[in-house]
Amino acid sequence: GYRITSQEISAAHCYNPCLNEWSQLASMNQKRSNFKLLAVNGKLYAIGGQSLSNVECYNPENDWWNFVASMPNPLAEFSACECKGKIYVIGGYTTRDRNMNILQYCPTSDSWTNFELCDVHVRKQQMLSVEETIYLVGGCIHELGPNQKSSQSEDVLTVQSYNIATKEWLYLKENTSKSGLNLTCTLHNDGVYILSRDITLSTSLEHRVFLKYNIFTDSWESLRRFPAFGQNMLICSMYLPDVREV
């Protein structure tokens, strides 16, 4: 992340919800910002950062970070998620061009491969997975077909799905009145819960709307208005133990 002075940092902390305590962990070897942090098979992976290609793995058993295989190229404005024990990276930019490759990282072999090419360029999207399906939520989409200029893009809250087994893309229902940029989302039970904003309020980046996208019915639901406004907010889903069973 960043400090107030805009300096990148490498610090890591852990929160224990049962004890309501924060503890400091070993710092990463690389200071980084705008990176992706994913949990895979009991370990954490810090992927890239602002125009970085290196990747670090954190083992909670020994409280230690070590470098693993780097991505083929440094990337900016990309997204990533875990799916069936592997890491997938989609979208963003290399130092020279758009990243059109779906990158796959295998922790077992510690290697990256170009899994498939994308037909559409996307950046700043959010990604999450259910079983063998990756969901891409929001972002800025560039249609690169013969009838579309490469500079054209739309700020629309879209949901796309990609099946890693069949390699099939599906373009799911859009929400044309909500922004696909500067959103945050999380998966909980049967839906993707999203904090977004109305595109009619172009002067404000504050999160103002709380939505649910149902992954089984391909439908949208407006939930209770979010009580607080803010920027650069995050949303997460957490299952807490029943204290009565402890």
Taking only the tens place, the pLDDT of each residue in 121-148 is 888 888 999 999 999 998 887 766 555 4
Q: In Å, what is the CA distance from 225 to each residue of 125, 139, 178, 212?
A: 23, 22, 14, 12
SS3 157: strand
b/e code 139-178 from CB counts within 10 Å (16+ = b): bbbbeeeeeeeeeebebbbbbbbbebeeeeeeeeeebeeb
Distance from C-alpha of 48 to C-alpha of 95, rounded to nearest angstrom: 13
Q: Among 18-32, 91-105, 188-202, where is mean pLDDT lowest? A: 188-202
Distance from C-alpha of 135 to C-alpha of 100, rounded to nearest angstrom: 17
- What is the phi-psi region of residue 6: left when phi exceeds 0, alpha when psi lies from -120 to 50, beta otherwise? left
Distance from C-alpha of 152 to C-alpha of 149, rounded to nearest angstrom: 6
pLDDT of residue 152: 43
Distance from C-alpha of 8 to C-alpha of 33, rounded to nearest angstrom: 6
Of 88 and 121, the structure prediction assigns the larger pLDDT to 88
Residue pLDDT, tens place only, 195-234: 877 656 554 555 577 888 899 898 988 887 666 665 666 7
Residue pLDDT, tens place only, 173-186: 777 667 777 788 89
Each domain of the chain, given as residue ranges in start order, spans 119-245
| Tokens describing residue 202 | 């172009």
* Domain boundaries 119-245, corresponding CATH code: 2.120.10.80
